[in-house]
Amino acid sequence: KVLIDVPCSDLAEELAQSQTKTQALQDTLQQVLDRREEERQSRQLLELYLEALKNEDSILSKVAESETGPRKDMDVVDAATSSTGTSAKTALSDQILAALKEKPAPELCLDSQDLELVLKEDTQALASALRWDKQKAEALQQACDQELSKRLQQVQTLHSLRSTSKGKKTLP
């Protein structure tokens, strides 16, 4: 760093070299320093990323534990009272509700079982859980129903194609 900060003419005189060679030396030294700084910043960024991944994993595992923990402890009476007491949380997990709120087309992000849960949910309970109006919740349920129907049709078509191809293989 000191060699870079020294005026080129003074360094050239001290080294008994031309100013162009001294300038090239200073440029090379500056490039080395810049590369080292970039490497240091990259290492720091990678460390932060790895730390964030560890934190995310620990948060996700805590969330998973908290979601599965209380359900194991529930008895039949608790399940019955909770389903009538707060119908907004009966069948939909926090992950499903988060996907419904955050995604522009949540019906495409959910698996078929989750789509069925959204369809089975009471429209008013769904609207209150998402803090939406009833029309928006109805539209979401219709979109989920259409997506589920489309997926079912694709599966049926696939089964039909498989049975057709199996029939052709058995023919002489």
For domain 94-167, give the CATH number.
1.10.1490.10
Ramachandran sector of residue 121 (left: φ over 0; alpha: ψ -120 to 50; beta: rest): beta
Residues in CB range of 23: below 8 A, 6 or more apart: 8
Nearest CA among 167, 78, 155, 92 for reference residue 123: 92
Tokens of 25: 């030396």
Distance (Å, whole) CA 74 – CA 72: 6
Distance (Å, whole) CA 130 – CA 56: 24
Quick one: pLDDT at residue 66? 64
pLDDT per residue as tens, the chain (172 positions): 888 888 999 989 988 999 999 999 999 999 999 999 999 999 998 888 888 888 877 777 777 766 665 554 444 444 444 444 444 454 688 888 888 888 778 888 888 888 888 888 888 888 888 888 889 888 988 988 998 898 888 888 877 777 777 666 555 5
Task: Answer for the pair 99, 130: CB distance below 8 angstroms, yes or no.
Answer: no
Give Rg (Cα) of the chain: 32
